[in-house]
A and B are shown apart, each in its own frame.
With several copies, the nearest count.
Chain A
Amino acid sequence: MKDLTLDEYQYYGRQMLVPEFGKSGQVKLKNSTVAIIGAGGLGCPCGLYLGCAGVGTLKIVDFDTVDTSNLHRQIAHTEIGANKAESLAKAIKQRNANVRALPYPVPFAADNASQLLEDVDLVLDCTDSPAIRYLINDICYAKQLPLISAAALRSEGQLSILCYPGGPCYRCLFPHMPAVSQSCSDNGILGPVVGVMGVMQAAEALKFLALGPPQEVSMLIFSLFSPVPWRRIKMKGKRPDCINCGENGPDATKLATYYANVCDTYPVL
């Protein structure tokens, strides 16, 4: 592993003072590559905090461009019409020249998913579509890449850690694809709600990279207007009959049916 430079000691000094994290955590961050799929309401704060915290290489994938209606929550962007992956990468570089922030201004899709995740240590799902969420999950399981998945809508959020050795996949937790999907554009979102989920995703990523996978299968749920805004839910682990990671391995027929229905093509592994 590459050691820290003098500049990096100065930059990250306050983090290395945290006992559980320390210098060893900082060196692990420096030597890690994290993929951020989606540079929107989740990806912006998540990418900024991970870039500033010192993740050595960030791959940022987003094909979309910045619209006025994004600005209230996508706090890394300042320019209407810019590609979101490029805009977020630029914002990270402005703040921390010690890390590499690599923009991929392409759609994350079945035919390039596996290639985009080459040499990656951890994947962060910051997307806004259920079809892509299942695709990211299936690729992560196939490539044995841990996945931190966050989502937000209106005044609520959810976060789970998946696909680490022995852990469940997204399909284990959520076997039923919803009939009707609800996006932030159509159903609304409060800026600080998706923001807090994106920063939590960065916090969990930092913990994962420094200390490894969680001991228990759980999901964090957030609801700003609930009397108890945060809950940590104990979840069932791997589902033996999961069509992706179950006891009999990926069920090619069922997955093919799934992809035929929701994606253009079956993922290339």
Chain B
Amino acid sequence: MKVTVEVGGGLEMIFGGKRSQVVAFTGGSMQALLEYIAKEVVEDQSKLDVFILDGNVRPGILVLINDSDWELEGELEYEVQDGDHVLFTSTLHGG
């Protein structure tokens, strides 16, 4: 299946500056998608910990599935669908 993975809030730096890309995912839960992204999509593996901590998304990073907070969708248990848009971004504090 095809999933659009978008990143922002500074996370794009470990994705080689790419803000949005379509990835080929074999299917499964968000847990599986996270593992896939961490292993296959993140380009700067040395800084993986700004994104993933202890197998989950680092606290403070927002995960948005099809324009909804993933807490509304089941978080790690959400079953990823073909065509989904998943966005990882940080809370901003500047002004």
A contacts, CB < 8 Å to B: 19-20, 38, 40-43, 125-130, 133, 150-154, 156-158, 174, 176-179, 181-184, 187, 189, 194, 221, 223, 225-227, 231-236
Contacts and interface: CB of A to CB of B under 8 A. Distances in A.
A152 B95 contact: yes
Contact of B93 (A43, A181, A221): A181
A183 B93 contact: yes
Nearest to A151: B92
Interface in B70-92: 71-72, 87, 89-92
Contacts, number: 94
Interface of B: 6, 8-10, 13, 17, 19-20, 59-60, 62, 64, 67-69, 71-72, 87, 89-95
A178 B64 contact: no
A233 B64 contact: yes
B92 A225 contact: no
B1 to A, nearest CB: 20
Contact of B17 (A19, A43, A174, A232): A19
Contacts of A151: 91-95
A184 B95 contact: yes
A31 B64 CA distance: 38
Among A20, A184, A226, residue most surrounded by chain B Cβ atoms (within 10 Å): A226
A226 B93 CA distance: 19
